[in-house]
Amino acid sequence: MKKLLLCTLLTSALAAPALADRLATEPVQPIEPAVITEPEKVELGKKLFFDPRLSRSGFISCNSCHNLSMGGSDNLPTSIGHNWQEGPINSPTVLNSSLSVAQFWDGRAATLQEQAAGPIANPVEMASSHVLVVDVLRSIPQYREEFAVIYGSEDITLERVTDAIAAFEETLVTPNSRFDQWLKGDDDALTEQELAGYQTFKQTGCTACHNGPALGGASFQRMGIIKPYETTNPSEGRIAVTGEDVDRFSFKVPTLRNVELTYPYFHDGAYWRLEDAVDLMAQLQLGRELPPEDIANMTAFLKTLTGDQPDFTIPQLPPSTNDTPQPVPFETPADSGS
Amino acid sequence: MKKLLLCTLLTSALAAPALADRLATEPVQPIEPAVITEPEKVELGKKLFFDPRLSRSGFISCNSCHNLSMGGSDNLPTSIGHNWQEGPINSPTVLNSSLSVAQFWDGRAATLQEQAAGPIANPVEMASSHVLVVDVLRSIPQYREEFAVIYGSEDITLERVTDAIAAFEETLVTPNSRFDQWLKGDDDALTEQELAGYQTFKQTGCTACHNGPALGGASFQRMGIIKPYETTNPSEGRIAVTGEDVDRFSFKVPTLRNVELTYPYFHDGAYWRLEDAVDLMAQLQLGRELPPEDIANMTAFLKTLTGDQPDFTIPQLPPSTNDTPQPVPFETPADSGS
């Protein structure tokens, strides 16, 4: 017992300098596990996140495009919305989105709660309305009971719906990646190639934007600083929010956490290979033509950013009742516009 | 301690006759929990069931239309398929489907394994092909490893894919409903109204078809025995399989397990209210006009058939690689037909 204790103390003492050092000096910090203070609200938010009755068709849920079995993304260039309409921009991952300075590629929502209201009523996404969604949920006694327990009354409002969804999304952090283990002092967590890739990542200048715990999400940057980004996607980025010409083609820097899982890349989802994304970013943003070895190393490093994925039981949704407004999966001339 | 033991023995003794009696004499038997003998295969099957890469678009998985958060169904009259095409028939629940004599409404697949291959290559459902799906899965090392562990070699074939999906589906039974508790001797598991509804259910003749552990799934019956069923749905049922004129409008009797969760009802999904479905069935199949009280009681009874729902952690899907064929979410003239 004494021997074991001594051993533990020695190990801690040896690990301590690396730990303190890296946490203080590296431009990336570890992801911390979620601290859940309102478990009932998180459970309710999970149900709502998976509930396709938030869409007009009864087919599309938040999880359709932010699939928690697939890195919180849909792995498509742009999303499939109501009536198979093509979305305007790549669905960003919901994982670690609580760490972002704002939501959406152009940052038009200040909070996760504000974001959650958007797709519900967007005619090319879930195509419902805030009135209809609240009517649907109010018709379901089990939902009314859960809202009553959490919010003190049975009244279901859009504000409460999006508050619960946001509370669930705040739990969707991905700690314990191999890179975070290394940051916390475990020298064996990374291979030599991965460490070399991380050094190149810093030396090339990537951490100017991809820094902090999420390696991104903290600022808006022009897509194509040195050379313009060629795309057929019409999005002009943050100018839509600020109206400032300087913000044209400025987008929120995406997180690199779990980047191995969140292909295809960029706001137009035009690049499927992580190597190609690394190569292009170095050219367009930093004016650097990287040798293949550096690209391979950086790609290897980026794959160490995959953390613990969501680990919970699939929710069971309370059934609709005879009073629940029915979904409209297929539009007829009489339906549309209603 | 002795008192407690005596008490337990007395309770068992009292419960025993009811137990033996009901299990021997009732036309319905309890659902037994799944016995999992190959847990790795079930885990692999779960991943495949949730993997939208089994579809051409990369958007539709088995779980899209057999949603395990919603009674194993999509709660739509007919399903939404590739390119938002309208499916020809209501998606039957996957829950307890292992208890069915055959799969699909017309029974054209003898086994769950045979069924699983259908939607993958159906152009109005997942719209992929058996060759493409196997190519996609073969390109993913984590899948190759899992197949190797389970089947003894890395080779991924359609037969193995559907075998694993079927193994997962066999676990999707829903034991422990209140009705099953009553069948097993718990007199307090049902209310008086629910018991009265069960008596009416038997006396009206419903158990002629809705019997056995699944209360259905064991036979094919004409939809509209006494009076024809009016529908705009063109399905003609089992004649498509047998070619026999006698099988026109004959469909597999659906299970009534979890029927509260699997609305809307019938092969065309035209009825949303369980009361209406009960009323109509009595008229069309049995020539009975039931009083509202009987319909209410039977509906109450049917809601006691909701058992333990699937209770597992959401699967994490292995990421695609640079060699994985990309999904085709939006058709262009060049894509279609390829």
How confident is the model at residue B1, as a pLDDT? 40
Domain A39-169 carries which CATH code?
1.10.760.10
Which residues of B fall within a CB distance of 8 Å from A69?
A: 50-51, 314-317
Facing residue for B58 by CB, picked from A50, A75, A322: A75
Largest Cα–Cα separation, chain A: 80
Handedness of CA A122, A127, A131, A133 (dihedral sign): negative
pLDDT at B270: 98
State the span(s) of chain B assigned CATH 1.10.760.10: 19-32+176-305, 39-169
Question: If phi over 0 gives left and psi between -120 and 50 gives alpha, with beta otherwise, what is residue B99?
Answer: alpha
Contact B317 A57 (CB under 8 A): no
Residues of chain A whose C-beta is under 8 A from some C-beta in B? 50-52, 57-59, 64, 67-71, 74-77, 80, 83-84, 86, 260-261, 263, 272-273, 275, 309-317, 319-320, 322, 326-327, 329-330
The residues of chain A that CATH labels 1.10.760.10 are 17-31+175-305, 39-169
Q: How many helices (H) and strands (E) does chain B have?
A: 12, 2
* Pair B259, B274: CB distance under 8 Å: yes
Q: What is the pLDDT along chain B (338 residues), one digit of tens a residue?
A: 444 444 444 444 455 556 668 999 999 999 999 999 999 999 999 999 999 999 999 999 999 999 999 999 999 999 999 999 999 999 999 999 999 999 999 999 999 999 999 999 999 999 999 999 999 999 999 999 999 999 999 999 999 999 999 999 999 999 999 999 999 999 999 999 999 999 999 999 999 999 999 999 999 999 999 999 999 999 999 999 999 999 999 999 999 999 999 999 999 999 999 999 999 999 999 999 999 999 999 999 999 999 999 999 999 999 999 999 999 999 876 655 44
What class does CATH assign to B19-32+176-305?
mainly alpha
> Chain B residues with CB inside 8 Å of A74's CB?
58-59
Answer yes or no: are the C-beta atoms of B249 and B223 closer than 8 Å.
yes
A179 CA: distance to closest CA in chain B (Å): 19
Q: Do A314 and B316 count as a contact with CB atoms less than 8 A apart?
A: no
pLDDT bin (cut points 50, 70, 90) of residue A18 is low
Residue A274's nearest CA partner among B321, B260, B140 is: B321
And the tokens for A47? 């149900």
Tokens at residue A60, please? 């599309």
For residue A80, the chain B residues in CB contact (below 8 A) are: 57, 59, 329-330
CA distance A135 to A156: 9
Residue A1: per-residue pLDDT: 40
Residue B330 one-letter amino acid:
F
What's the whole-number mean pLDDT along residues A259-275?
Answer: 98
Spatial distance between the Cα atoms of B304 and B31, rounded to a whole number of angstroms: 13
- Res B18: pLDDT: 60
- The fold adopted by the segment(s) A17-31+175-305 is Cytochrome Bc1 Complex; Chain D, domain 2 (1.10.760)
Rg over CA atoms, chain B: 22
Q: Is A252 helix (H, G, I), strand (E, B) or coil?
A: strand
Nearest-angstrom CA–CA distance, A244 and A223: 16
Residue in B26, B38, B43, B125 annotated catalytic: B125
Contact B309 A316 (CB under 8 A): yes
Helix (H) or strand (E) holding A221: strand A220-222
B322/chain A closest Cα distance in angstroms: 6
Q: Which residue of A has its CA nearest to B82?
A: A84
Residue B139: its chain A contacts at CB < 8 A?
none
CB contact under 8 A, A52 and B59: no
Mean pLDDT of A118-133: 96
A182–chain B nearest CA distance, Å: 23
The verdict on a CB contact (< 8 Å) between A67 and B52 is: yes
B28: nearest Cα among B206, B252, B260: B206
| Interface mutation target, options B57, B66, B70, chain A, most CBs of A under 10 Å | B70
Q: Which of B263, B311, B315 sits opposite A320 (nearest CB)?
A: B263
Pairing of strands A250-252, B250-252: unpaired
Q: What is the pLDDT of residues A274-300, one digit of tens each?
A: 999 999 999 999 999 999 999 999 999
Ordered alpha helix ranges (H), B98-174: 112-121, 130-138, 141-151, 158-169
pLDDT given for residue B19 in this prediction: 61
CA dist., res. A240 & res. A118, Å (int): 15
Is pLDDT larger for residue B76 or for residue A21? B76
Q: How far is A21 from chain B (nearest CA, A)?
A: 33
Asked whether the beta carbons of residue B69 and residue A315 sit closer than 8 angstroms, the reply is: yes
- Residue A336: pLDDT band with limits 50, 70, 90: low
- The rounded distance, in Å, linking the Cα atoms of B65 and B84 is 13
| Residues in chain A, total | 338
pLDDT in tens, A72-115: 999 999 999 999 999 999 999 999 999 999 999 999 999 999 99
For chain A, give the percent of residues with pLDDT over 70.
92
B331 catalytic residue (yes or no):
no
Contacts of A70 in chain B (CB under 8 A): 52, 317, 319
pLDDT of res. A17: 56
Nearest CA to B94 among B222, B316, B258, B260? B258
pLDDT at A26 over 70: yes
**Cβ-nearest to B80 among A59, A70, A314:** A59
pLDDT reported for residue B5: 47
Contacts of A181-184 with C-beta under 8 Å, sequence gap 24+, read A182/A22, A182/A304, A183/A22, A183/A23, A183/A26, A183/A28, A183/A29, A183/A30, A184/A19, A184/A22, A184/A23, A184/A30
Give A218's DSSP letter.
Answer: S
For chain B, the residues whose C-beta falls within 8 A of a C-beta of chain A are 50-52, 57-59, 64, 67-71, 74-77, 80, 83-84, 86, 260-261, 263, 272-273, 275, 309-317, 319-320, 322, 326-327, 329-330
Instruction: Determine the residue type at B224.
Output: G
Closest CA to A81 of B264, B333, B84: B84
**Where residue A337 falls among pLDDT bands split at 50, 70, 90?**
very low
Query: Using the beta-carbon criterion (under 8 Å), do B58 and A64 form an inter-chain contact?
Result: no
pLDDT above 60 for A257: yes
Asked if B316 lies within 8 A of A309 by C-beta distance, the reply is: yes
pLDDT value, residue B20? 65
Q: What is the pTM of this model?
A: 0.94
* CB-based contact B317 A70, cutoff 8 Å: yes
DSSP A220: E
Verify whether the Cβ–Cβ distance A86 to B330 is below 8 Å: yes
Chain B closest CA to A70's CA: distance in Å? 6
Point out which residues pair with B220 in neighbouring strands: B252
Interchain contact, A74 vs B86, CB within 8 Å = no
CB–CB of B251/B223 below 8 Å?
A: yes
Residue of B nearest to A275 (CA): B322
